Amino acid sequence: MKNTLISIFFALLLACYFPEIASAQSNDSIMVTSGATTEPATDGWVSLQGDSITILYLPDANIRKLEARLRTRDVPISQEYRMLLSNGSLSMEDRLKARIEIILLRVKDILGMDPKDFHVKVRIFKSRQDMNDAYAWMFNESANFKSFYIHHFESIYTNEQDFLDSVMAHELGHAVIDHYFSVPPPSRMAELMAIYVDSNLDQELSN
Question: Each residue of 84-127: pLDDT tens digit?
Answer: 999 999 999 999 999 999 999 999 999 999 999 999 999 999 99
| pLDDT for residue 204 is more than 80 | no
- Give CA–CA dist 25/133, Å, rounded: 21
Cβ atoms of residues 167 and 158 within 8 Å: yes
- Model pLDDT, residue 203: 72
Give Cα separations from 37 to 65, 117, 125, 152 (angstroms): 33, 22, 20, 8
Domain spans of the chain, in order of start = 2-199
Question: Each residue of 133-182: pLDDT tens digit?
Answer: 999 999 999 989 999 999 889 999 999 999 999 999 999 999 999 999 98
Indicate whether this model's pTM tops 0.85.
no
Question: Which backbone phi and psi does 23 adopt, to 5 degrees?
Answer: -65, -45
| Mean of per-residue pLDDT scores for the chain | 85
| pLDDT for residue 184 is more than 90 | no
Between 26 and 168, name the one with better pLDDT. Answer: 168
Enter the DSSP assignment of 195. H
